[in-house]
Chain A
Amino acid sequence: MEIIKSLGESLADKISISPTAARGLIKLSIKDELGPFTNVNKVNFNDLHKTISNSFKKRLVNLSIQDVEVITESMLTQLKHIQSLITMANV
Chain B
Amino acid sequence: MDFLFLLFQAFLLVFLGVYLGVGIFFSIRALQTRLHHIIYGSVSFTLMAISQIIAFLFTFPDIIETILISIAFVMCVIFTNLTFHKEKKSSLPFLILIVTIINSLIFFVLNLLRDIADSAPLYYATIVHDFIYRSIIFGWLGWSSLVAYKKIKDQNIEPWIKARYKIVSSVSFLICFERIVRIFQPWYQEFGDPNYLESYVVFGIISIMAIIFAVGFALAWFMPGWFKRFLNKGYQAVVDKEYSEEELMDLIKRELSNGGTNGNN
Interface residues of A (CB under 8 A from B): 2, 5-6, 9, 14-21, 23-25, 28, 42, 44-45, 49, 63-67, 80-91
Least CB separation from A65: chain B residue? B262
Cβ contact within 8 Å between B86 and A24: no
Interface residues of B (CB under 8 A from A): 25-26, 29, 33-38, 83-84, 86-88, 144-145, 148, 151-152, 155-158, 161, 164-165, 221, 238, 240-241, 243, 245, 248-249, 251-253, 255-256, 259-264
**Cα-based distance from A86 to B264 in the complex (angstroms):** 35
Cβ contact within 8 Å between B34 and A42: yes
Interface of A: prevailing SS: helix
Query: Which residues of B have CB within 8 Å of A2?
Result: 157-158, 161
**Cα-based distance from A28 to B249 in the complex (angstroms):** 10
Looking at the complex, which one of A49, A63, A87, A90 makes contact with B253 (CB distance below 8 Å)?
A63
Cβ contact within 8 Å between B29 and A91: yes
Cβ contact within 8 Å between A17 and B260: yes
Interface CB pairs A-B, < 8 A, 18? A6-B156, A9-B156, A15-B260, A17-B260, A21-B251, A24-B248, A28-B249, A42-B33, A44-B34, A66-B263, A67-B261, A83-B86, A84-B84, A87-B35, A87-B83, A89-B157, A91-B25, A91-B221
**Cα-based distance from A68 to B241 in the complex (angstroms):** 27
**4 closest Cβ contacts across the A-B interface?**
A64-B263, A17-B255, A16-B260, A84-B148
Cβ contact within 8 Å between A82 and B148: yes
Cβ contact within 8 Å between A20 and B241: yes
**Cα-based distance from A42 to B155 in the complex (angstroms):** 21
Cβ contact within 8 Å between A80 and B88: yes
Cβ contact within 8 Å between B263 and A65: yes
Cβ contact within 8 Å between B33 and A90: yes
Nearest-CB distance from A81 to chain B (Å)?
Answer: 5
**Cα-based distance from A90 to B25 in the complex (angstroms):** 12
**Cα-based distance from A6 to B248 in the complex (angstroms):** 19
